[in-house]
Amino acid sequence: MKTTQAYRASIVHFPNKSSCPKQDYQYFEDGLLVTRNGKIEFIGEYKNHINQYPDAIIHDYSGKLLLPGFIDSHLHFPQTEMLASFGEQLLDWLTDYTFPVERKFADPKYAGHIAKIFIRQLHRHGTTTGMVYSSVHKQAADALFQEAASHNMLLIAGKVCMDRHCPDWLQDTPQSAQQDSAALIEKWHNNGRLKYAITPRFAPTSSPEQLQALGELAQQYPDVFIQTHLSENHNEIAWVKELFPERKNYLDVYDHYGLLRKGAVFGHGIHLEQAEWQRLQETQASIAFCPTSNLFLGSGLFDLAKAEQENVAVMLATDVGGGTSFSMLKTMGEAYKICQLKGNQMDPMHGLYLMTQGAAVGLGLEDSIGNLNPGTDADFVILDPEFDVLSALRFEHHRTPQDMLFALSMLADDRAITATFVAGTAVYQANTQTDTQIIKGAL
């Protein structure tokens, strides 16, 4: 959008990298955010500064909360349709539900249809960046990137690589995984705002030869992201130890093949050994904390306080479809509950940090996303703290930013999202009929 846009709302964000998000946030109760050409031009108090923008189109969201767009650092695009599948823990859940669903993505037309629904779900929940696993099929990743590109999103995604211990109709090979991933990197990485992540599913489904091939690829493309799963479930960990007896621990499998570095995001990391914490810290790799998934699959309780103590970067993530909601607000609420069970209290500002600036810093993307600093991309979300009768009652007398965020993390979901903006353009506005049309295939 070429013209200058001015947004009036209560604004919260973290301008800097922070080791104490409880204190380091910036809050403007009557705030002004100015955007131009898809970038943020100004952030500050409304009354003192609006006169500087006489030509701006003003969008008055007084009483609402404007935050940086949410970053969901781990989720699976093909699992959109299998949320909430009953009863299993990780390994059986993969066999019984996940693999059969992911098979459907061999059909590029089907992948394109679900890509539309998936991206729309991100936007209607206020998520502007996702770090996404596609299926094993190259063309499904193409469909996902295509859809994200049509909204000018900063999306990070990768084709899943797996050449063993899964049905043969879902397997690639070391060579095809390397070639297909390389072709996708050449086509999509840094194409507009898009980024690529090399994506071995997890150690049990990749042969040593495949991990070797992907390590070589990571070396060849040093600025590409890496994502995989780590230490999620006790049976999974025992299996990895059986499959790779010569490695010191689970993380050491990935380390051995050159898959640890800044920009490498490991899903879960619930049952880590001390040496693994240390190696994550040394390599500046990150952990995606996926609370709804960890509870749903009975995987365990992530130790956020330990991660902080060990100086390991953590980001919040839904892990759809092991996770049960696309809502990063709900995800933050469940993270709080897990911390309670571990004897800690996660401050709401800390929660917000882990799904905005903290995630951006972990990914090395804080110059583009995660905060509302001038010069960054205008990805932001507008929340209505009074999205239903109960929340209206709750906020009648209480309106500190901490309290609003905390209560929203417990009570809200997509109903609280008024609008979502990507690179300065509204990609979602509440009260439209668009979603039904997308699901029916009419859009």
Chain contacts with Zn ion (rule: CB under 5 A): 267, 319
**Among residues 25, 202, 254, 353, which is the contact residue for ligand GUN, using CB under 6 A?**
202
97 binds, among Zn ion, ligand GUN, none (CB under 5 to 8 A by kind): none
Q: Which is nearer to Zn ion, 193 or 271 (CB)?
A: 271
CB nearer to ligand GUN: give 202 or 277.
Answer: 202
- Binding of ligand GUN at residue 201 (CB under 6 A)? yes
CB of 360 to ligand GUN, least distance (A): 23
3-state secondary structure the chain: CCCCEEEEEEEEECCCCCCCCCCCCEEEEEEEEEEECCEEEEEEEHHHHHHHCCCCEEEEEEEEEEEECEEEEEEEHHHHHHCCCCCCCHHHHHHHHHHHHHHHHHCHHHHHHHHHHHHHHHHHCCEEEEEEECCCCHHHHHHHHHHHHHCCCCCEEECEECCCCCCHHHCCCHHHHHHHHHHHHHHHCCCCCCEEEEEECCHHHCCHHHHHHHHHHHHHCCCCEEEEEECCCHHHHHHHHHHCCCCCCHHHHHHHCCCCCCCEEEEECCCCCHHHHHHHHHHCCEEEECHHHHHHCCCCCCCHHHHHHCCCEEEECCCECCECCCCHHHHHHHHHHHHHHCCCCCCHHHHHHHCCHHHHHHHCCCCCCCCCCCCCECCEEEECCCCCHHHHHHCCCCCCHHHHHHHHHHHCCHHHEEEEEECCEEEEECCCCHHHHHHCCCC
In terms of CB distance, is 324 or 391 closer to Zn ion?
Answer: 324
Q: Is 94 in the site for ligand GUN (CB under 6 A)?
A: yes
Residue 98 in contact with ligand GUN, rule: CB under 6 A: yes
Residue 172 interacts with ligand GUN (CB under 6 A): yes or no: no
Residue 202 binds which one of Zn ion, ligand GUN, none, with CB within 5 to 8 A depending on kind? ligand GUN
- 110-169 residues in contact with ligand GUN (CB under 6 A) are none
Closest CB 66 distance from Zn ion, rounded Å: 30
Which residue lies nearer to Zn ion by CB, 67 or 240?
240
Binding letters toward ligand GUN, positions 294-333, x by CB under 6 A: -------------------------x--x-----------
Enumerate binding residues for ligand GUN (CB under 6 A).
76, 90, 94, 98, 201-202, 229, 232, 293, 319, 322
